[in-house]
Amino acid sequence: MTRLSVNINKVATIRNARGGNTPNVLQFAIDCERFGAQGITVHPRPDERHIRYSDVYDLKPAVTTEFNIEGNPRGERDHKGANHSISKSKPYGFIDLVKEIRPAQVTLVPDAEGVLTSNAGWDTVKHQDYLVDVVKEFKACGIRVSIFIDADPHMIEMAAKTGTDRVELYTADYAEQYAANRESAIAPFVKAAQAARDCGLGLNAGHDLSLENLAYFYQCIPWLDEVSIGHALISDALYLGIEETIHRYLGCLGN
């Protein structure tokens, strides 16, 4: 079964735009699970423009499905954001946060500080040694590790050498090309997914997957372990309501 993990960053974006606690990020996560979501994803960034580090602490005891924390661990050890003095009154970076929370999964994403959204996967050749160290550190805590990666079989083969449990395919190119030629759009992703399977890696996918393109992606790569979807899903919920939206996304995955 392919799990649906709902990325709730956009809910936090709306809350932060007005201040206060509306919409309630914690309650939204609980409701997503109640309506059938099989995981909750958050991507805290150093500027805390959507999910805050404090949200991650609040969500940990409430999430009863799989909790997935995404982010870039590089250079965050000493980051001191305005709202990072949380647990034990000391500042935390991404690595420290994840090791304390111990989610079911951590997804390593190489996004630069200040980018609007993740826009590329890891170069697992250039950053091989670094990724080996980080993967080892998280796995020592009993956390499953996934590496965000482009649909490049060589990069996936090199990702396998880091000791990671899974890779997450960055699907923006698929989404952009889907309407013009879905067969052409999916082809490199099928090859990449096969490479991951050949390497013994679990397989996740995410970025711009939607009600328009998700079913075909799943049809062509039915051994997917998980999709993480935020922007499109939250946007659809504005029209359909969150319960109906989650049911439709689950339907795209044969659930």
Helix (H) or strand (E) holding 208: none
Phi, psi of 193 (to 5 degrees): -65, -40
Give one word for 58, left, alpha or beta, with left for phi > 0 and alpha for psi -120 to 50: alpha
Residue identified by tokens 């000493």 is 78
- State the catalytic residues: 43, 70, 207
**Alpha helices by DSSP H, the chain:** 9-18, 25-34, 53-59, 94-101, 128-139, 153-160, 172-177, 182-198, 214-220, 231-240, 242-252
**Alpha helices by DSSP H, 73-230:** 94-101, 128-139, 153-160, 172-177, 182-198, 214-220
Respond yes or no on whether the N-terminal peptide bond of residue 23 is cis (omega within 30° of 0). Answer: yes
Instruction: State how far the Cα of 227 lies from the Cα of 193, in Å rounded to an integer.
Output: 13
